[in-house]
Amino acid sequence: MNILTIGGGSWGTALTYLLDKKGHKCFLWEYNEEYRKQMKEKRENENFLKGFKLSETIEIVDDYDVVLNNNDIDIILLATPTQFLRNTLEKLKDSMNKRYILVNVAKGIEISTGLTISKICEDVLEGKEYDYVLLAGPTHAEEVVNNMPSVILSVSENIEAAKIVQQAFNNISLRVYTGTDVIGSELGGAIKNCLAICAGICDGLGYGDNTKAALLTRGMNEIVLIGTTLGANPITFMGLTGLGDMIVTCTSKHSRNRYLGEQIGKGRKMNDIVKEMKMVSEGATTIKALYEIIKEKQIRTPIFTALYELLYEDKDISNLTQTFMERELRSEF
């Protein structure tokens, strides 16, 4: 297949690397001109995926409009952070001259609208023909590109499109399942980034396994509550894009969301940490949109409410534990 990747971060680069090795014709576009030039010249993404040489068959392109007009592209792989996606789609829209499969691998909720990525696509690409597929699950780019056995989910309301993506991406070390609950999978992937910040705060404060286990369990309870309120199937949150994605993001050394929380737990300010991070912490932006949804729908979510207050209302981190442990006693469910 002919595949255009929009976004040259770690995940976009890793998937392009694997798709090329599988024999697909791959084009890769990165927003940052300096990074594009570096990848072209050195055939390596030194900023986000150092150590993996990109074959000469992968075309690093300066203009994806030219690619779409001069090549019969089958799949457009969207690997752009959520808060920048709308502008990318606005530019992409004019170049969409046939029916494509849009495969999104970003996870988040748009701050300005409260929309998940499938809904952003509906909003911007109205009138265009495409099939939306979410590719998500417990997969760190650093491990997938090293051929460590991993499992991911291809999710679409059009099951045939999900199966096409399943066949296109599946290889000996990356097993791809299919699913149909787009909203549940999007919410699971987006909100677990917020929970990962909380998990990192536990690590930064020096708490142990008991604390983190309790936090993740109660946090997942809140994710299910938010998801079902917004129309998701609760079973989805026990699958790869729910429980699976939550485990890997909340416990891994590769997780930038967990790292952000850990540094906050050690007493550092969020703005200082974010400035030194090359990659975006989706959880830090998603919590803004999530908090508005929680308020609007009046959902009882003490963990995510406290995270928002800590990050954006200057609540003292030293009071967090006391707040949770001294709340009114109640039944678990």
- Give the annotated binding-site residues for NAD(+): 7-12, 84, 141, 256
What pairing do the DSSP bridges indicate for beta strands 150-155 and 130-136? antiparallel
CB 124 within 8 A of CB 96: no
CA dihedral 306, 309, 310, 315 (to 10 degrees): -110
Binding-site residue positions for sn-glycerol 3-phosphate: 107, 137, 139, 192, 245, 255-257
* 5: β partners: 28, 77
CB 263 within 8 A of CB 89: no
Burial of 178 (0-12, 13-18, 19+ CB in 10 A): middle
Q: How far apart are CA 294 and CA 315, in angstroms?
A: 18
Burial of 16 (0-12, 13-18, 19+ CB in 10 A): buried
Burial letters for 264-276: b for 16+ Cβ neighbours within 10 Å, e otherwise? Answer: bbeeeebeebeee
Tokens representing residue 201 in the block: 């705060």
Q: Among the options 91, 128, 192, 275, which is catalytic? A: 192
Binding-site residue positions: 7-12, 84, 107, 137, 139, 141, 192, 245, 255-257, 280, 282
DSSP string, 60-86: EES-HHHHHHHS---EEEE---HHHHH
Q: How far apart are CA 115 and CA 241, in angstroms?
A: 18
Binding-site residue positions for NADPH: 10-11, 107, 141, 256, 280, 282
192 is catalytic: yes
For the annotated catalytic residues, the residue numbers are 192
